[in-house]
Structure 1
C-alpha cells in the first residue's frame, strides 16, 4: 500500500445522528486505516459544512437519530446539499448508513406522532411508525448478506457466506420497493418484522437497522468499505494488509453461540 493513498471520511451530522454508539463505525474505519498506514481525515457533513465539502469525501458514514433530530437534519439537508449527497452515492461512493440515516435516504418517514418527513428519494423505500402504542423492534439481529455484488465480494474474502451480527432498536418499519435488500434475517426483526429482509444496498452504499455499532462487530465489512473507497479514488486494484482480528472473531463466535446459532 502506497503511503500516498489517503481517505476522507464524511460523517453525516455527527452531533445529531450518533444514537446508540454509531460513532463507533467512524472510529473503526479510522483505526483500521491507520493501522495500515493509510492517513485518514474525518470531515463533519453538518449544518456548518459547505456544499463543496460533500464532493470531497471518499467514504460516507451516517448514524441513527430520534425523530426530532431527523427533522432538523432534513431541514438542512435540502437543495444543493441533498443533490451533492445524491451525486456521491449515484457515482458509487461507498457508504454505511444505520437506523435513522437509511430512512432519510428513502422517500419518506412517517413518525408515530407528527407529520411525514420527506427523504431524499435516493433509495426506493419508505419507513413508517405504526403508532405510539406499537412495540419497538429491539434486540440482537443476525442476517446473511445477499445483496450483489457485496455478497460475492465478502464470500470470496471470508471463504463462506457473510453473516452480520448487530443490535437493532427502531420503532419505524421500512418497506422496500425497487432496491436490493441488504440481506435476509436469521434472527431478529430486520426492516419490518414481516418480510424477512434487512436493510438495503445501492451501488456501494449499505443501509441497515443494525447498530452495535456495526463495523467493529463485523470488521470484514469495514475492510470492504475501505478497499472500495480506495479503489474508486485511485482507480487501481487495492490489497489491504491483514490485521489481527482474533478478539473480534472470538466475540462473534460467543455471540452466535449465545443466540444458539452456529459460528
Structure 2
C-alpha cells in the first residue's frame, strides 16, 4: 500500500474516460475493501491534473475516439501513471483505457498512435464492431474463474511476449476472438464493461489482494448474484 494508512484508489480522467458507467469499478473496489476493514481514499484525477505517483490502484475507463487520443497524449506527457506502474502500483484499464496503456493503439482512421507503454500490447481497428455479451475463462495463474461483461468496440489487440492474456474467450470477441484482456505484473486491461468489477467481484478481489496481500473472503451478496445472473444469460444466448 501507499505511504498513507489508507488504500489509495486513483480514478484517472473521469472527464474523458467514463463513457460506460466506469465509476462502478471505483465504488466496488472501495466497498469490498471497507467490508474487510481496509480504509480507502479515492483520488479523482481530471485530465487537467497531474497523476499522483503514490497511489495503490489506478483505474481507467472507456471513451470515444477523440477523448481517447487526448487522454493518451496527456498521460504520456505527464508520466505519473508510468512511474507509478514502474514502482509496482496496480493498474486496471477498460476498453479505450486498455488500448492506451499499451505500446500503440489506432485512431478513428486506423492510424497507429503511441500509447503509455506499460502493457505489452498493440491495438488496431478490426473490420467489424464487437458488440454484445462476453464470457471468458481467467488465466489459471491468476486463480482461474469465469468473467462476464459487455463489449462495444472495434479494436483488435495483439499481446506481446512480456504480457499474458487475461482470459480465454468462451462467448464474444475480446482481443481477437480467442483471448480477452491482458496482464503484465500488476497491470491489467480488459474490454469488459458492465462495469467489469461489479459484475465480477472476484476480479475486484484479485486487484485488492495485489496491493494488500491475502484478504478474507466475503459472504456471497448481490455482486455474486449479479455475476451468476449475467453469466447464465450470456451462455443462453
TM over 0.5: yes
Whether the 8 Å CA contact 1:140–1:187 is kept in 2: the answer is: yes
1:27-79: per-residue Cα shift (whole Å, max 9, x none)? 1111122233322111123333335x2x1201111111111001111221123
| Deviation of 1:147 (Å) | 6.1
Consecutive unaligned residues in structure 1, runs of 5 or more? 155-160, 232-237
Whether the 8 Å CA contact 2:135–2:234 is kept in 1: the answer is: no
| Deviation of 1:5 (Å) | 4.4
Q: What are the within-5 Å matches in structure 2 for residues 53-202 of structure 1?
A: 53=52, 55-79=53-77, 81-82=78-79, 84-113=80-109, 115-130=111-126, 134-146=127-139, 148=141, 150=142, 154=143, 161-178=144-161, 179-193=163-177, 196-202=178-184
| Deviation of 1:224 (Å) | 1.8
- 1:246 match: 221
| Deviation of 1:120 (Å) | 1.6
Whether the 8 Å CA contact 2:135–2:170 is kept in 1: the answer is: yes
Whether the 8 Å CA contact 2:57–2:90 is kept in 1: the answer is: yes
For normalisation by structure 1, the TM-score amounts to: 0.81
CA change 1:74–1:252 in 2 (3 A) is: closer
Q: 1:256 pairs with 227, 231, 236, which one?
A: 231
Q: 1:208 pairs with 187, 190, 198, which one?
A: 190
1:114-166: per-residue Cα shift (whole Å, max 9, x none)? 74321122222211113xxx431011111011163x2xxx3xxxxxx410111
Whether the 8 Å CA contact 1:111–1:172 is kept in 2: the answer is: no
CA change 1:246–1:43 in 2 (3 A) is: closer
Higher strand share: 2
Kindly report the root-mean-square deviation, in angstroms, between the aligned alpha carbons of the 2 structures. Answer: 2.1
Equivalent residue of 2:119, what SS? coil
Q: 2:212 pairs with 223, 230, 254, which one?
A: 230
**Structure having the higher Rg:** 1
